[in-house]
Structure 1
Amino acid sequence: MSKIDHNFVPSDAEELRDCLADPMWRICSGQLYKIMIKDETLEDGLKVVPFRPNRAQMRFIRRLWFRNLILKARQLGFTTLISILWLDHALWNPNQRCGIIAHDREAAATIFRDKVKFAYENLPDWLRAEMPLKKNSAIELLFAHNNSSIRVATSMRSGTIDRLLISEYGKICVKYPEKAREVVTGSLPAVPLNGIAVIESTAEGQGGDFHDKSVKAEAIAETGRQLHNRDWRFHFYAWWENPEYQMDPTGIVITAKEHEYFDVIEAQCDTELSMRQRAWWIATRDSDMSGDSEKMWQEYPSTSREAFQRSMEGSYYAVQLSNARRTGRISNVPHVSNVPVHTFWDIGKRDGTAIWLMQKVGLEHRFIGYIEDHEQPFEHYILELEKLGYLWGTHHLPHDATHQRQLKRRNISAQEMLQEMRPHWSFTIVPRVEDITVGIQLTRSKFSECWFDENACALGLQRLTNYRKERDARLGVFKPTPLHDENSEGADAFRQFAQGWSEPATPAGSRPSRKRRPSAMAA
């Protein structure tokens, strides 16, 4: 912790030497580093000011750990803060490699130009002369005096990275899943145990590695146990912690229901939300988010739980899933031996496949498993099913499984490929419905007959929960058609059950053969 008051201004060489030896003074005094901030009163909209950490940033510095996960509201300045922290570390410590991963090239270029390079170029002239550049490229600064560097790019995986920031990781997970996998397998392992890694992002919906890491890190934090170096420390920063997020409430209509929402947040967070803060939230929602509260939860969360919360508005199966939970139909639903297991597939256009597993026991349709993966050959799903050792009934495929696909030597449909892989399995095609809303309504009507194993179907239930109508951002209303996102395949696979299930003529099924057959993918 800092030994010198952050407001202290050295008056001679000895005092300056003592100040420069204190990292907290260097970061917090405003004497060394400058940043650009928005100022609408100026012609170019930008103002150069000394960098002084705000309250949320200071709280983060005090809680900094070896692995840090920041779930936050927008524009709280964490990318700026960590850019300064990394630059300072590189300037004052020899042979260090500091990196920042951005979600795309444009963001990487902006961070490097406006945060890293700008801060270095605006150091006091005498200090910059003592810490000259050996390399000055479009993505990296390498310092001549100590061989340390700081780099900003869209990926990093070579060599040791002593300090790493992954900016907007939630966005990376949603938009660039391959890049997210590279972060997990390449970039993060490059940070040594005594190094520091920071993941920061706004929420981008449920699912994905950022969501999973956030949930796990918060759960660990709630236990209060001591962290080890590989544990992620959870940091959450709400919109109401930013003193700039307030405005004159004159002319802003806040309903009783909206005041009730703010009152609940006050009680949950042990804080007070002024009329100016409430007015800012309402105005931002209505103007910037087209009235979409869910977008506000994501971009400007009040609580960590709210950040990943999905509105039930526009959700196709919200009522049905709520009823299933209330009546105990989402619980422990074990597999029943010697009863055939039927499957319902969706083969996604984005190389994703989802499969629901169901047993008919009495009058109940018991869903005992859910499989989902992406960019995998059909044999992968066959083997996943065979691992279970179940007695198989009928495998229901979507109508487009009859469409021919061009392979190296021939054209073949998904149905033909699967049948060639397992000739003794029974595959059937579910007829297409011309209007998808008819299929969705049919699915709703079947929910009362369905039971779900809460653990084995957890991801599938998440897909059904988040399956919703597409929103017209311009008009602020829902379209009559589904939103196509990561939830589509799981929901479409479940719809195959409603559209294609019929009672089998005989209860007999087939167990998977232990003998492996050559894959039709080789054809």
Structure 2
Amino acid sequence: MIPKTESEIGRCLEDKEWRMNNLYTIVDEGGIKKPYRRRWTQQDLANSRHGLDVVLKSRQHGISSESDIDMLDDCVFNDDLRCGIIAHTKLDAQEIFETKVKLPYFELPEFIRRLNPHTKCDSCTLTLTNGSSIRVAVSFRSATTHRLHVSELGKICAKYPKRATEIKTGTMPSVHPQLGGKAIIEGTAEGDAGYFHDLCIQAQAETAEAKKKGIPLNPKQFKFHFYSWFQDPKNVLDPAGVKISDELKRYFKGLYDEHAIELSPEQKAWYAQTKDGAGGLGRLMKREHPSTVQEAFESSVEGAVWGLEMEKCYSDGRVGFYPHLEQLPVYTFWDLGYHHATSVIFVQFAGEQIRVIDHHRERGRGAAYHAKVVKEKPYNYDKHYFPHDVMQHEKGSGIILGDVYA
């Protein structure tokens, strides 16, 4: 609706949905200034917000833009709100302030800015005459935060764990959802540990449980949201000339067989080019553009030991349940330790397959203990393979390790 009279303007300005889709300007992914219009994921998030919300997502859904424009709108049209945005880095904080707070405010119609002019707009802080304000920083503490947006918490947890702890113990307690406070935490996954991972897993379980029982979440519970790469209509490409590897063909088949995710040829082409094309993401693809929640947290972390190799094992379908075959012998392979763990893997050779069927790992125990654990396993052993230091004397007992394991 385009208001033409003063009364129509008044009715439109009372409608937050109208304001969000008609008043604001943003800078898009291509760096172009354009009117803000909610896309499907942004509208879905707006319609399904709870109060405390955690969003696991693939890249470029516009979740940050939605969160920050929503916060700015609340400040412009509500008095005395103290709002905060936590960014991944100081450079990101400056960028968010310039493009998602300052620019949208100064692009508002002049009569709206005259009704609520700013008293401060620098140092990543916007303060308005109605007493509302937005501050963008890498961390902060406050007695009360009425609106909070934490951007890329997964990356913060991975690179700045102390800052993540500060957010958990210092920032989050300042949001009081039972009094109307709201917080949205979003990001891509960065491994299967840390505050963001734990928050997503717990929120996912509690959200599913509440839905199953037909009851609402309580104000202090987080609602879980997930947006995958294929939910973004931009993620398509003409399949002509795009090579899809056998590995990806198996991957796409697995998405359909296991998750009922059916992709179009254009979506498959986009995924293949983004992952395997020149300058593609490679093994980081699942982290940046997950198809499922489980996949997001299974993906390898940059710098992880054997990360690339394990990613290929998952893609090839070589990670699964491989039970002990009683008709075949078992071989063990040892890495000896005391102050660090002694590790033993149990292997069977079935045709061309090398099947790892069991694993023992423990630290602070002597050779006799580990030998006993292995002997008590219900396996028919053929050979045990040890490193060269098996002929050294054990600390404490002085016995030769090889004699214990013989």
Give the TM-score, by structure 2 length: 0.76
Kept after mapping to 2: 8 A contact 1:140/1:151: yes
Residue of 77, 100, 107 corresponding to 1:115: 100
Offset of residue 116 of structure 1: 0.8
Please list the CA deviations of residues 132-191 of structure 1 after superposition, one character each: whole Å capped at 9, or x if unmatched: 0011112111101x1000111111112211110110000100111110110011000010
1:304 partner letter: V
Q: Is the 8 A contact 2:284 2:299 kept in 1?
A: no
Matches within 5 A, 1:56-75: 56-75=41-60
Identity among equivalent pairs (%): 33
Question: What displacement does 1:269 show?
Answer: 4.5
Q: Does 1:239 align with 2:229?
A: yes
Query: Which residue of the other structure, out of 352, 364, 371, is the alignment partner of 2:373?
Result: 364
| Contact 1:101/1:166 (8 A) holds in 2 | yes
Q: Secondary structure at the match of 1:157?
A: coil
Structure 1 residues 128 and 61, CA gap change in structure 2 (3 angstroms): same
- Of 54, 59, 82, which aligns to 2:39? 54
- Rounded to whole Å, the distance in 1 between the matches of 2:181 and 2:208 is 25
Q: Where does 1:110-509 land on structure 2 (aligned, <5 Å)? A: 110-144=95-129, 146-193=130-177, 194-223=180-209, 224=211, 225=213, 226-287=216-277, 290=280, 292=282, 294-310=283-299, 313-315=308-310, 326=323, 344-345=339-340, 356-358=363-365, 360=369, 363-364=372-373, 502=394, 505=397
- Residue in 2 aligned with 1:20? 13
Per-residue CA deviations over 1:15-52 (Å, capped at 9, x if unaligned) read: 11111111111112x2x10111244xxxxxx3222111
Q: The residue matched to 1:150 in structure 2 has which SS?
A: strand
Question: In 2, are the aligned partners of 1:358 and 1:365 still within 8 Å (CA)?
Answer: no
The residue that corresponds to 1:332 in the other structure is none
Give unpaired runs (5+ residues) of structure 1.
Answer: 1-7, 40-45, 329-341, 347-354, 367-443, 447-494, 508-523
Distance 1:192 1:256 in 2: 51
- Residues 505 and 271 from structure 1, CA distance in 2 versus in 1: closer, same or farther, beyond 3 angstroms? closer
Deviations 1:268-322 (A, max 9, x none): 4444311111111111112476462x31100000111111113674249x89x97
- With over 3 angstroms needed to count, the CA separation of the structure-2 counterparts of 1:163 and 1:187, relative to structure 1, is same
Q: 1:357: Cα distance to partner?
A: 4.9
Cα displacement (A) at 1:501: 9.0
Aligned to 2:26: 35
Paired AA for residue 372 in structure 2:
L
Q: Is the 8 A contact 1:289 1:296 kept in 2?
A: no
Which letter does structure 1 place at the counterpart of 2:101? V
Deviation of residue 265 (structure 1)?
1.9
Corresponding pairs, count? 341
Matches of 2:391 and 2:96, distance apart in 1 = 50
Return 5+ residue gaps in structure 2 as ranges. 301-306, 326-336, 342-361, 376-383, 400-406
Alpha-carbon offset, residue 362 of structure 1: 5.7
RMSD: 3.2
Write the distance in 2 (CA, Å) between the matches of 1:323 and 1:500.
37
Q: Which amino acid aligns with 2:397?
A: A
Code of the residue aligned with 2:309 in structure 1: it is G
SS of alignment partner, residue 49 of structure 2: coil
Deviation by residue 1:372-405 (Cα, 9 ceiling, x = unmatched): xxxxxxxxxxxxxxxxxxxxxxxxxxxxxxxxxx
Give, as a single letter, the amino acid of the residue that structure 1 aligns with 2:19. R
Change (3 A) 1:323 1:151: closer
- What is the CA–CA distance in structure 2 between the aligned matches of 1:163 and 1:239, rounded to whole Å? 27
Are the aligned partners of 1:99 and 1:164 in contact in 2 as well (CA < 8 Å)?
yes
Q: CA deviation at 1:365?
A: 6.2
Contact 1:289 1:295 in 2 (8 A): no
What is the letter of the counterpart of residue 64 of structure 1? R
CA–CA distance in 2 between the matches of 1:258 and 1:278?
A: 9
Contact 1:105 1:153 in 2 (8 A): yes
The match for 1:405 is none
1:141 aligns to what SS in structure 2?
Answer: strand
